Amino acid sequence: MPSGCCCPPSTAPRARRLGRTAAAAVLVPLCAAAVLIGAVRAWDVTTARQSVRARRSYAAGMIKPIELVIFDCDGVLVDSERIAVRIQVLLGAELGWPLTEGEVVDRFMGRSHAAIREQIAARLGDDTAALWAERFELLHREAVDAGLAPVDGLPEALDALDLLALPTCVASSGSHEKMRHTLGRTGLYERFAGRVHSSTEVARGKPAPDLFLYAARRMGVDPAACAVVEDSRPGVEAARAAGMRVFGYAGGLTPAERLEGPDTVVFHDMRRLPALIGGR
């Protein structure tokens, strides 16, 4: 009998078989549980896989060259955030929720109309939230028609990106109707025609990554090869969650420190964007 074995030679193979059977009895339920958990999470599997793959490329040090630049709209392409904030402050005073400009930036900026309306409804009720939304749309349209311009330095930045042969698109919390209006008034809509994406097309708005992952999928580019230009805290958080590189534009209303974070370059002059992207 070999030393160190407590079984007779005739029973040792049977003991090994029993050991394998016991191990299988433990492993099979564990595997089944893992499958069940995966099934529960399958509702968002495409979005999750895209985000995880992109983040893993960073962790492994395999940073891909930038193949697509995704622009937010308000405050990045067109200087409309100042208009929106001013109107929100006005409506808050008129309808019973006094807000400072800083509070509007923190609560509303970068979020979808639906998310903003939910906040107002929770505070003032559904009827007031509906009136607020109606008044905002009217006042915003009038202000845009009275005078809206591209963000300072934006046309030069787009021209330089064209020279770099970098594809671009738009992914905004605003509706398509709103973007047709604001981008149309500034002569930018045709420049992005067919490459404009709205949070109305996805289940969750910023700071969830859905919109940016959707834009990358529609453009046929790996999220890890995308760069996002954003000017709001929810926007930069959404881009990071999507595993994309972020360029936080601090030349608008959001303080630079609110944009800072991993995989993020904060800048103040839109004319610098092409050089920053070219260096990544």
The one-letter code for the residue type at 28 is: V
Kindly state the tokens that stand for 270: 């839109």
Residue among 277, 271, 280 nearest 70 (CA): 277
Please, what is the Cα angle at 108 between 148 and 147, to 5 degrees?
10
Integer Cα distance of 181 and 70 in angstroms: 19
Q: Considering 74, 79, 210, 231, which one is annotated as catalytic?
A: 74
Integer Cα distance of 132 and 242 in angstroms: 32
The residue whose two tokens read 């970098």 is 166
Is 44 annotated in the active site? Answer: no
Q: Considering 44, 72, 159, 210, which one is annotated as catalytic?
A: 72
E strand map for 126-198: 168-172, 196-198
- Say how far residue 239 (Cα) sits from the centre of its chain: 4
Kindly state the tokens that stand for 135: 């008044």
Is 106 annotated in the active site? Answer: no
Burial class (CB in 10 A: 0-12, 13-18, 19+), 217: middle
Residues classed as catalytic: 72, 74
